[in-house]
């Protein structure tokens, strides 16, 4: 075998056993994935709201296709580069749930709008001007939403009058169609206690309603109110305010969302990082091969899971991530005596799904121990 | 322009102004890079030690080539996947400064050793057996080093007797050549105070010497003692123990290393993330387009830098990283009145170079404001 052949070897082959896939790899459990896929579709349909899952987490056209097939209206992207990557793979209805702030990006958005059904957010008058100039130059049209700030203090206009001024400038331009507002509050998503999360979601929704009501009073009808997320999905669908739900992480889940208190809506962990024990310095400390380049830790360390009924890793905590190493320490909370050995594999539930997936080129999709598919992460690295 | 053409548009073109490159982008300042390149070469040559820069940070064959051209003996890789990516681009002398722990990886290492001058670390007897089996099957030979633990408590044998048993088993097998030891202490690298760092480095070196001396007493000659890093490079080259220095981050630098007290050896920041102000919620808070998918924060938040003599961002701290947004807050420590505006660009010095680079496909190489080259990050995502 020559070096070129060797270098281009795929990590995983369809049909192989998961234990033969070189670690670390990004594993997608198809059974849990399908459970989560159905769960959100059923919930949205039951409440008569549109589902527009966020693709910023999964960055994968195959997942977007399956979400649309299961009833989603389209997807959200957070970056223009992501939208291009998914559009190229045939995703036709994309909402860019974010602002862009350069003439060059406005030109790209205008060009993309010639090919797909694109909508975009604005929160600044200059953005409206830039988009109008670009749309006129390219000869395309764009659906536009005003992002409103409902408590996150990040993007979005802060007052009704700011919103109305933007709406007026959008409506005054023939290249753009004003279709509604975007209202998202990231802080609500991770409130662990279910009741407290419900209260936080209600407060955010009440704020969104104020913006909506001002438009309603001006006679605007059929407006889109888009927002919501995985943590607040149960409240968002029933709010009577949101017409479209942008939840994204539910489809794969992570430690952070797994730590929430869930009631009716119960998504499962569909995403794991496979890892191998590569050094065994002591009986209390072992080293695995998955560090900061295989998972991100800004939202907490990953949780080790044993494979199948093997309980070897139930006594171990992942305590430190170096660039290419993970340190696991013994935590004798359980009475399990089957100690991990050099060369053993484990699975890790990552702390935060979005930036972790952005480290990989593909999902290794499996049922049980069998690799059944590989899905390309089309928008990986598309941060522009 | 059709969608396919649009989707595959490069982010940066050679000759363009940096301000036209869509943000966020990974910028490499060629002037600072060349300064750092020369600095380490001169230092190693002056002390008569070999330089074998670590490629785990830059992951780029073009940078490896330039390091070798400037006098480096070869490079280090931390993962087999990295080594394959660089070997494919013509890098011929690679030390895998890490352990592997599966029969499949051992086979890949054995195959790679047919094509390039490869060495590898072991710290477990099973690894020696696995490698021997693979080398015999493939018909190749491998240079092997025993990793010794000099205080980091991560990988590496902890005692001289453990080391000697491994050395014996390596020497007993005709497929392997024992060439020395690897001794690295990551904790030393980030001690900010120069004197304290010198003391920590001396302690680590003394521990490495104990392992070396045991081999020396057995009559081993011409051994490689490889290790060291950017933070300890001044002490490592002069230690009389290390024959080969593995420093990696010095070539690009990051906030973490920039915060150290430096004396003779003074590397410059050659790496920045470009970013655009995309929302301006208040006079005290602005939002940029570079978040967790454009830089990693586990070793601290990035530092904003104004472009050229423009001091707009000197009053602002990057205070929070969301997935695709960065929050900057006003910090009135300086008397600068030129406030950032919507659409303005800034540069960010990332907290931690290695995992940040692993998010990008290419370096946009520039002198001043002009894009002069683009270097592919060949081993990006190669975590296996």
Ranges under pLDDT 70 in chain B: 308, 333-337
Antiparallel, parallel or unpaired: β B117-122 and B93-96:
parallel
Domain identity same for B125 and B249: yes
Domain identity same for B155 and B282: no
Instruction: State the total domains in chain A.
Output: 2
pLDDT in tens, B322-376: 999 999 999 876 555 678 999 999 999 999 999 999 999 999 999 999 999 999 9
Domain identity same for A65 and A158: yes
The answer to the question of residue B384 being in a domain is no
Record: contact A361-B354, CB cut-off 8 A: no
The answer to the question of residue B210 being in a domain is yes
Domain boundary among B225, B258, B291: B258
pLDDT in tens, B338-349: 789 999 999 999
- C-alpha A172/C-alpha B376 separation (Å) is 45
Q: What are the residues facing B316 on neighbouring strands?
A: B330
Domain identity same for B19 and B127: no
pLDDT for the residue numbered B310: 73
Domain identity same for B196 and B54: yes
| List of chain A residues whose C-beta atoms are within 8 Å of the C-beta of residue B23 | 102, 384
Q: What is the arithmetic mean of pLDDT over A297-323? A: 91
Distance from CA of A293 to the nearest CA of B (A): 6
Residue B384 in contact with partner chain A when CB distance is under 8 A: yes
Question: Looking at the predicted structure, is the pLDDT value of residue A91 above 80?
Answer: yes
Secondary structure letter of residue B272 according to DSSP = E
Domain identity same for A36 and A21: no
Q: What is the arithmetic mean of pLDDT over A119-129? A: 98
Domain boundary among B231, B258, B285: B258
The answer to the question of residue A332 being in a domain is yes
Mutate to test the interface with A, among B77, B80, B148, B279 (most CBs of A within 10 A): B279
- Please name the member of A78, A294, A343 whose beta carbon is closest to the beta carbon of B101: A343
Domain extent, residue A310, equals 3-27+268-376
| List of chain B residues whose C-beta atoms are within 8 Å of the C-beta of residue A112 | 3, 6
pLDDT for the residue numbered B72: 98
Domain identity same for B173 and B128: yes
Secondary structure letter of residue B347 according to DSSP = E
| List of chain A residues whose C-beta atoms are within 8 Å of the C-beta of residue B108 | 6, 9, 22
- Please name the member of A1, A78, A383 whose beta carbon is closest to the beta carbon of B24: A383
Question: Looking at the predicted structure, is the pLDDT value of residue A67 above 80?
Answer: yes
Q: What is the arithmetic mean of pLDDT over A138-149? A: 98
- Quick one: pLDDT band at residue A353, thresholds 50, 70, 90? very high
- C-alpha A349/C-alpha B96 separation (Å) is 28
pLDDT for the residue numbered A261: 97
Mutate to test the interface with B, among A13, A146, A295, A383 (most CBs of B within 10 A): A383
Q: Which residue of A has its CA nearest to B57?
A: A323
- Quick one: pLDDT band at residue A339, thresholds 50, 70, 90? confident
Chains A–B, number of C-beta pairs less than 8 Å apart: 206
Mutate to test the interface with B, among A152, A187, A323 (most CBs of B within 10 A): A323
Q: What are the residues facing B183 on neighbouring strands?
A: B148, B227
State the DSSP H helix or E strand holding residue B106, giving kind and residue range, or none if neither. Answer: helix B103-112
pLDDT for the residue numbered B335: 58
Residue B79 in contact with partner chain A when CB distance is under 8 A: yes
Residue B182 in contact with partner chain A when CB distance is under 8 A: no
The answer to the question of residue B2 being in a domain is no
Record: contact B104-A276, CB cut-off 8 A: no
Reported ipTM exceeds the 0.90 cut: yes
Considering only residues 314 to 333 of chain A, which have any Cβ-Cβ distance to chain B shorter than 8 Å?
321-325, 327
- Please name the member of A85, A281, A322 whose beta carbon is closest to the beta carbon of B7: A85
Mutate to test the interface with B, among A59, A101, A149 (most CBs of B within 10 A): A101
């Amino acid at each position: 075998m020559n070096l070129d052949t060797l270098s281009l070897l795929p990590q995983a082959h369809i049909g192989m056993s998961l234990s033969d896939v070189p670690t670390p790899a990004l594993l997608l459990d198809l059974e849990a994935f399908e459970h989560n896929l159905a769960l959100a579709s059923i919930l949205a349909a039951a409440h008569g709201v549109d589902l527009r899952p966020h693709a910023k987490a999964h960055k994968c056209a195959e997942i977007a296709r399956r979400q649309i097939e299961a009833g989603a209206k389209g997807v959200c992207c957070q970056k223009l580069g992501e939208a291009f990557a998914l559009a190229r793979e045939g995703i036709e209805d994309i909402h860019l749930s974010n602002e862009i702030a350069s003439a060059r990006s406005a030109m790209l958005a205008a060009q993309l709008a010639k090919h797909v059904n694109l909508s975009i957010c604005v929160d600044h008058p200059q953005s409206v001007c830039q988009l109008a100039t670009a749309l006129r130059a390219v000869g395309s049209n764009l659906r536009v939403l005003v992002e409103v700030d409902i408590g996150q203090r990040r993007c979005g206009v802060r007052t009704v009058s700011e919103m109305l001024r933007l709406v007026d400038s959008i409506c005054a331009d023939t290249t753009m169609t004003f279709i509604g507002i975007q209202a998202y509050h990231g802080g609500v998503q991770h409130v662990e206690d279910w009741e407290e999360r419900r209260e936080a979601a209600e407060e955010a929704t009440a704020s969104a309603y104020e913006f909506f009501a001002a438009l309603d009073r001006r006679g605007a009808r059929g407006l889109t109110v888009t927002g919501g997320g995985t943590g607040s999905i149960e409240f968002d669908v029933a709010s009577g305010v949101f017409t479209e739900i942008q939840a994204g992480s539910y489809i794969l889940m992570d430690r952070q969302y797994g730590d929430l208190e869930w009631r009716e809506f119960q998504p499962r962990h569909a995403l794991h990082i496979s890892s191998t024990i590569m050094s065994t310095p002591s009986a209390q400390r072992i080293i695995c091969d998955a560090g900061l380049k295989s998972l991100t830790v800004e939202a907490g360390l990953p949780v080790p899971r044993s494979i199948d009924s093997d309980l070897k890793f139930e006594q171990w905590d992942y305590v430190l991530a170096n660039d290419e190493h993970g340190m696991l320490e013994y935590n004798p909370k359980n009475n399990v005596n089957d100690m991990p050995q050099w060369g053993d594999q484990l699975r890790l539930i990552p702390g935060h799904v979005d930036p972790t997936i952005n480290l990989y080129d593909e999902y290794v999709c499996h049922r049980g121990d069998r690799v059944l598919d590989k899905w390309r992460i089309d928008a990986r690295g598309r941060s522009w």
